[in-house]
Amino acid sequence: MLSGKRVVLGVTGGIAAYKAVEVCRRLVDAGAHVQPVLTEGAERFVGTVTFSALASEPARTSLWDDVDPIPHTRLGQGADLIVVAPATARLVGSYAAGISDDLLTATLLATRAPVLVCPAMHSEMWEHPAVQDNLTLLRSRGVHVVEPTSGRLAGGDIGSGRLAEPADIVAAAERLLTAPTLAGVHVVVTAGGTREALDPVRYIGNRSSGKQGYALAAEALARGAQVTLISTVDRPAPDGARLMSVESAAEMEAAVGAVEDAEVIVMAAAVADFRPASTADRKLKKDAGPPLVELEPTADILAGLGARKRPGQVVIGFAAETDDVAANAVAKLRRKGADAIVANDVAAEGVGFTHDTNAVTIHVADGSVVDVPLADKRVVAAAVLDVVERLRKPSG
C-alpha cells in the first residue's frame, strides 16, 4: 500500500520507543522505503542496530556524522512522509517553536512533506496546557496528529498518553499517502463470528477472529471511504471508522439494515446459519443431562442484500469452505445475487480464521476470477477493494 514511498521515521526518547520497532517493520512490509532517524534520547531506549536491520537504510542519529554536509535538507526534501513515533513533549515543543537542535528537528523544519506526529508521554504531561497548545499550533500548520490512547503507562500507572498502536499509526500513514480512490463512498464492512445464545452462559458460534473484516475497514479508510464497521469482535475499530457492535445474527441483520443504503457492502462476517429455536433463561446444568436443542435457520443477510441491491451498489460476500471451494463459491454467488464472492479454504495452512494471513479466490459475477496467494490479510483486503473499484466504474 506504500510501495515506493520514502518515509522518514523519527524516534525520540520515550519508553514507547520500543513500539517504533514494530512501526518500522510494518512500514517496510507495506512497501515503504524507511529511513530511521533517532534522537540521542531514543538511543537510551532502543538501539540503532535494530532499526538498521529492519529498515531500508541504516539509522541516522546526528547532523555531524555524515559525509553529506546538510543531511537534514536531503532527508526533508526526499521524504514523501515523516512519521515521529513516539513524539515526546520536548519534540512537540521544539517543533512548534521552530528549534532545530538535532537531526530530527532539523529535518522536520526542512521538509514540505506531510508530517505525522504520534505523541506518547505520562498523563500529566499529555494534559499539560503547554503540550496541548503546542499540538494545536502544529495542527494549525497542517501537521497530522495520531493522539495517544489510554492504558498502562511506565511505572504501572493507568491513564492517557499511551502511544497509539503501531497498526493504527501505519494506517494513518497509509491514509496520508494513498490516493483517495473511494473518497466520499460509504463502505459497510461486517466482521467476526456471530454468537447464538443457548443460555445466559453458552452460545453456538464459530472460529472467526474478525481480522479480515478489520483489514478491509482499514484499507477502505486508506482509500478515503466513509466506513461503517459492524463487528462482533471486542476490539477497537480502525481510527476513523464508525463501529456498530453486535453479537447475534439477528442483531447483525438489524445493523446492516440500518445502513444498507451504502454504496458498498462487504459481508466478511461469519454469520451463523442456525440458532437455537429457544434460549434458556438460566444456565443449563450438566447433571440434568445433554439438552435437546432444536435449531432454526437465521436470516440470510447476504441474500436479502442481493435481492434488494440498487443500481450502482456493490455487494460482496465471503465463503469459508473446506472442500469443493470453487464450486461452492460459484453456487453461492449465483444463489445470493452478490457482485462477487471471496472464497477461501479454511482447512489450508495459514488461511482463514485466527491467522494474520489468508489466501483467497475472488469470483466475480461477470465471470472473472482473481486469485490472491497466501498473504497478509491487508493485502487480501486491497485485492477485494480493487475489485470493488472496478465494479463501480461505468461500463463502456
Kindly state the average pLDDT of the residues 291-315. 96
Give the pLDDT score at 395: 61
Q: How confident is the model at residue 283 (pLDDT cuts 50, 70, 90)?
A: very high
Kindly state the average pLDDT of the residues 271-292. 93
Q: How confident is the model at residue 71 (pLDDT cuts 50, 70, 90)?
A: confident
Model confidence pLDDT, tens digit, residues 320-370 = 999 999 999 999 999 999 999 999 998 888 887 878 899 999 999 999 999
Percent of the chain with pLDDT over 90: 82
Considering only the C-alpha atoms of the chain, give the largest distance between any 2 of them, rounded to a whole number of Å: 82
Model confidence pLDDT, tens digit, residues 251-280 = 999 999 999 999 999 999 999 999 999 999
Model confidence pLDDT, tens digit, residues 7-63 = 999 999 999 999 999 999 999 999 999 999 999 999 999 999 999 999 999 999 998
Kindly list the distances between the CA atom of residue 96 and the CA atoms of 80, 82, 130, 137, 264, in Å, as whole numbers in the listed order.
Answer: 21, 15, 11, 7, 41
The three cell numbers of residue 139 are 495542527
**For all residues of the chain together, what is the average pLDDT?**
93
Kindly report the pTM of this predicted structure.
0.76
C-alpha distance across the termini of the chain, in Å = 28
Helix axes 325-336, 301-308, angle to 10 degrees: 50
Chain-centre distance for alpha carbon 2:
14
What is the rounded CA–CA span in Å between residue 76 and residue 91?
17
List the beta bridge partners of residue 265: 188, 315
Kindly state the average pLDDT of the residues 270-292. 93
Give the pLDDT score at 350: 80
What is the rounded CA–CA span in Å between residue 227 and residue 238?
9
Residue 1 has pLDDT above 80, yes or no: no
Burial of 52 (0-12, 13-18, 19+ CB in 10 A): middle
How do strand 369-376 and strand 186-191 relate by DSSP bridges? Answer: unpaired
Residue 127 has pLDDT above 80, yes or no: yes
Residue 396 has pLDDT above 70, yes or no: no
Residue 68 has pLDDT above 90, yes or no: no
The three cell numbers of residue 40 are 540521542
What is the rounded CA–CA span in Å between residue 359 and residue 377?
8
143: alpha, beta or left? (left if phi > 0; alpha if psi -120 to 50): beta
Percent of the chain with pLDDT over 70: 99
Kindly state the average pLDDT of the residues 155-177. 90
Q: How confident is the model at residue 67 (pLDDT cuts 50, 70, 90)?
A: low
Give the pLDDT score at 347: 84
List the beta bridge partners of residue 193: 270
Kindly state the average pLDDT of the residues 241-257. 97
Nearest to 196 by CA among 187, 206, 188: 206
Give the pLDDT score at 349: 83
Kindly list the distances between the CA atom of residue 27 and the CA atoms of 55, 74, 146, 169, 177, in Å, as whole numbers in the listed order.
Answer: 9, 21, 16, 9, 12
Kindly state the average pLDDT of the residues 166-176. 91
Residues serving a catalytic function are: 206
Give the pLDDT score at 315: 98
Give the pLDDT score at 246: 98
Chain-centre distance for alpha carbon 106:
31
What is the rounded CA–CA span in Å between residue 375 and residue 380?
7
Kindly state the average pLDDT of the residues 59-78. 86
Give the pLDDT score at 322: 92
3-state per-residue secondary structure call for the chain: CCCCCEEEEEECCCCCHHHHHHHHHHHHHCCCEEEEEECCCHHHCCCHHHHHHHCCCCCECCCCCCCCCCHHHHHHHHCCEEEEEEECHHHHHHHHHCCCCCHHHHHHHCCCCCEEEEECCCHHHHCCHHHHHHHHHHHHCCCEECCCEEEECHHHCEEEEECCCHHHHHHHHHHHHCCCCCCCCEEEEEECECCEECCCCCEECCCCCCHHHHHHHHHHHHCCCEEEEEECCCCCCCCCCEEEECCCHHHHHHHHHHCCCCCEEEECCECCCEEECCCCCCCCCHHHCCCCCCEEECCCHHHHHHHHCCCCCEEEEEEEECCCHHHHHHHHHHHHCCCEEEEEECCCCCCCCCCCEEEEEEEECCCCEEEEEEEEHHHHHHHHHHHHHHHHCCCC
Structural domains in the chain, sorted by start: 6-177 (3.40.50.1950), 186-392 (3.40.50.10300)
Residue 103 has pLDDT above 60, yes or no: yes
What is the rounded CA–CA span in Å between residue 287 and residue 273?
29
